[in-house]
Structure 1
């Protein structure tokens, strides 16, 4: 029976030899994570120096990955490999965002480091430096990119763990959520209806749909006629329109799995959609095309960036400089919250995977009207008059 192999990840006896040219060489055999036993050796001026060099090499050693990525690979090289993986697996806008942060932040600061040099302390120091000069959401995106790069290296066995996981959290200032209250909604829609430029650009109906569904602007302009169940009064949110660098406008499946959802439509939205539905409609007709009038339903895709810019002009003209398309989503979430729906139900309606995001970022906590005060009056008001006190 032959000698049993070394356990995976261990090394055998260290042997040291004196070299004829002077100095010493220490060597041993290591059984790597792929099951292959390899010889590792290091030299030094003395026996002890050679053994110390070998032990250090063994501590830093990781399982070889066919020569593509090892602990000695530069982070900049691994970034390029990771981005190729992102391009293959993710949508174009995700790749563009990741590539931007990698090019502008990760590679300039960390690209020359070897993977084994990417310690938790170095990663944390980099993120803290980013916090000083960048917005919290931007730093979180940068952290996501760096985590993806080092996580990719860890999966290949080049480093034992992803150091980004142990780096400190990115703390941002919490902003107060503001949604449109009833009087503001009525006033804004009336002003949009009266704005000739806004009407020509088909913005009033677009805003009504966003307010009545909580859908994202990219999801709304991606709607086709066959997404609407006209008799049931429902709409399937299954896609969005994005602009991809070097490609142009692209319609693809929803932003996330949670973003693909079936929504009931309020009566005023169904009525609005029926009024604007052309007689010669086909299943692929766009509900909100890039033009109005004779081309309604038969135009081309609206550009989300251009639509956002035109909406910005209309909102400013109406005196609602603080409102964005996302405020419509927050307004929809707040209306559902005030109607008594659970956070989970509201998150499912507006397409969030986590109800906590809906509660913390999308719900206006201000009381709308005097309903709360009237409830207290009804329950407690008679209990605090002079007669009851006596």
Structure 2
């Protein structure tokens, strides 16, 4: 069995020979293309020849343009990764990554060398996180670690990203719970009768979410020029987010699939036209941060504050289990019961993958007696004939 080849970028034993009035240092070096080549350098002394050879070998090393190596501490790698994230991604993404890095990743892994962040060590770290954090939060932490280690792999500091081989983050699945028709009618009636909810524009906000399946940030980002009143549609193309040290920012959609044009039900059209003043301007907000149906008087609503107002209004109405996502689930379930395909429903509520819509957003409780009637029609006649 032949001797295994030298790793890329490594060299063999350095040999020194007398050369004229000085010395020659020689070795074999395996270049980036895999070819082993002889490298020689001379010097006035043995030490000088060896120094000149090592300098030449260093210059032949694969250049990554980065100081990140296998001996770099994970904390330093994470800082480099966050700087790259801040340059290339949106502010909210950076804020989320920085939060998890500061609170979870660096305290537990920061003093490890990059090459020491093995699959086994990272898997143990994520299992520890599962004991104190929700599954979705652990997945976010994993995203930060994976992004940093992937960055190190691209720079040649490690051969592969070890997070790829870490075990799955398992969460507890819960069935989607959508509002029934009677619950929807009752909830809207209670919200309409709630003076504080009315003052903060909660009832119409809820109607918009139920009628479109939109997220809170998408609803408060809608401007008057997004509507095509003749076609009875609204273009959902942005969302409002709060960026640290910046404030409220209007982003062009949470994802590419989140940008969509939706048909509007008649009851929502009537509500929107009633709210719309005669002197409205195209960029006016439909749900500004002040009441008064005059659009444009106010600024963007804060999604966190809006969520809090919604939460307290739902608690007062006796629907403490309802969240803004329940309205999205309700819209998806209604469309499912109407016979729309999973792909069509995913497109309506802004999902890239129909599987997410089916698994998470559709209420699986039986609606009406259609299933029982179908089974009765297929099987009941046989039982009757046997009698």
**Same fold judged by TM-score > 0.5?**
yes
1:219 counterpart = 2:230: no
Tell me how far 1:65 sits from its aligned partner.
Answer: 2.3
C-alpha distance in 1 between matches for 2:36 and 2:224: 59
C-alpha distance in 1 between matches for 2:80 and 2:34: 22
Tell me how far 1:271 sits from its aligned partner.
Answer: 1.4
Deviations 1:96-132 (A, max 9, x none): 1100100111111111111111211111111111112
C-alpha distance in 1 between matches for 2:67 and 2:190: 61
Corresponding residue number in structure 2 for 1:178: 177
Q: Is the 8 A contact 2:6 2:30 kept in 1?
A: no
Alpha carbons of structure 1 residues 210 and 294: separation in structure 2 relative to 1, 3 Å = closer
Corresponding residue number in structure 1 for 2:242: 243
Corresponding residue number in structure 2 for 1:162: 161
Q: Is the 8 A contact 1:7 1:31 kept in 2?
A: no
C-alpha distance in 2 between matches for 1:109 and 1:33: 38
- TM-align CA RMSD: 2.9
Q: TM-score, normalised by structure 1?
A: 0.85
Q: Is the 8 A contact 2:66 2:155 kept in 1?
A: no
Q: Secondary structure at the match of 2:102?
A: helix
Q: TM-score, normalised by structure 2?
A: 0.85
Q: Is the 8 A contact 2:276 2:294 kept in 1?
A: no
Deviations 1:227-246 (A, max 9, x none): 11111011111100011111
1:124-139 aligned at under 5 Å gives the runs 124-139=123-138
Q: Is the 8 A contact 1:31 1:38 kept in 2?
A: no
1:1-390 aligned at under 5 Å gives the runs 9=8, 11=10, 13-15=12-14, 29-32=29-32, 63-293=62-292, 295-385=294-384, 388-390=385-387
C-alpha distance in 2 between matches for 1:246 and 1:281: 32
Q: Is the 8 A contact 2:236 2:260 kept in 1?
A: yes
Paired residue total: 358
Corresponding residue number in structure 2 for 1:20: none
Corresponding residue number in structure 1 for 2:22: none
Q: Secondary structure at the match of 1:242?
A: strand
Q: Secondary structure at the match of 1:141?
A: helix
Alpha carbons of structure 1 residues 117 and 282: separation in structure 2 relative to 1, 3 Å = same
Tell me how far 1:145 sits from its aligned partner.
Answer: 0.5
Q: Secondary structure at the match of 2:242?
A: strand
C-alpha distance in 1 between matches for 2:34 and 2:280: 60
Q: Is the 8 A contact 1:238 1:260 kept in 2?
A: yes
Q: Is the 8 A contact 1:34 1:63 kept in 2?
A: no
Alpha carbons of structure 1 residues 294 and 105: separation in structure 2 relative to 1, 3 Å = closer
Alpha carbons of structure 1 residues 228 and 294: separation in structure 2 relative to 1, 3 Å = closer
C-alpha distance in 1 between matches for 2:149 and 2:200: 46
Tell me how far 1:384 sits from its aligned partner.
Answer: 3.4
C-alpha distance in 2 between matches for 1:81 and 1:139: 21
C-alpha distance in 1 between matches for 2:296 and 2:377: 52
C-alpha distance in 2 between matches for 1:141 and 1:299: 34
C-alpha distance in 2 between matches for 1:195 and 1:303: 21
Tell me how far 1:159 sits from its aligned partner.
Answer: 1.3
Structure 2: state its 5+ residue gaps. 17-25, 40-60
